[in-house]
Amino acid sequence: MQVREAKIAVDSHGDVSGLLVRPATAEWMLVLAHGAGAGMRHTFMERLASELANVKIATLRYQFPYMEKGRGGPDRPPVLTATVASAVRVAAKEAPDLPLLAGGKSMGGRMTSTAASEGLIDDVRGLVFFGFPLHPPNNPGTKRADHLAKVPMPMLFLQGTRDTLADLKLLQPICKGLGSRATLHVIDTADHSFHMLKSSGSDDAKTLKSLAETTAAWAAKL
């Protein structure tokens, strides 16, 4: 297993940190962005990268500039999408032999799809959303999904039934409207952080493993 740090230059916003995890058996490279409130070294991101490595998916995790600099709130969308594009370019250079996927947790996934809708990451084969944030918590709406119609590549939505940032009654018809480009995989009792209810008979560790396995199975069909 190769694990090493990387530096990603983001236009006039300086360098941000990256972390490359590549198993010897890697078949894909996933450029993986963090959510709004926690960086690339958050426990969820660490464990997810480990489980993805177990199913032959290398990852390049990276920081957004605001997280790199320790600022409280996210950068403006143009800065976030520029960071996504820069990370994808670095991943392509670091692993030219691997086909690319991109996505992320919550906001990181949404900024990745925004970058894709703007034609900034055309070399990516597919997008993976680990909890797409369709709307603010408990405030249903669909405006955040408007750009998805302009995303040209296949998309995998991994969503929990208790996710307060994505009412499935709204997300399901959106995915249906995207046709064959969208695959929606629902995890019963999972919340936005993929924490499980005890009554589910599963736990967080099993769920992370399932997220990775579902991603690998989906990628194999691209």
Going from N- to C-terminal start, the domains of the chain cover: 2-219
Phi, psi values for residue 70, rounded to 5°:
75, 25
Pairing status of strand 15-22 against strand 2-9: antiparallel
**CB within 8 Å of 88: residues ≥ 6 apart:** 31, 100, 102, 115, 120, 121, 123, 124
pLDDT at 12: 77
pLDDT at 215: 98
Please check the confidence at residue 138 and state whether its pLDDT lies above 90.
no
CATH number of 2-219: 3.40.50.1820
**For 104-116, how does the pLDDT look when each residue is reduced to its tens digit (9 = 90+)?**
999 999 999 999 9
CA distances, 206 to each of 22, 57, 124, 170, 196 (Å): 22, 18, 28, 27, 10
Look at the pTM and tell me if it is higher than 0.95. Answer: yes
**For 34-63, how does the pLDDT look when each residue is reduced to its tens digit (9 = 90+)?**
999 999 999 999 999 999 999 999 999 999
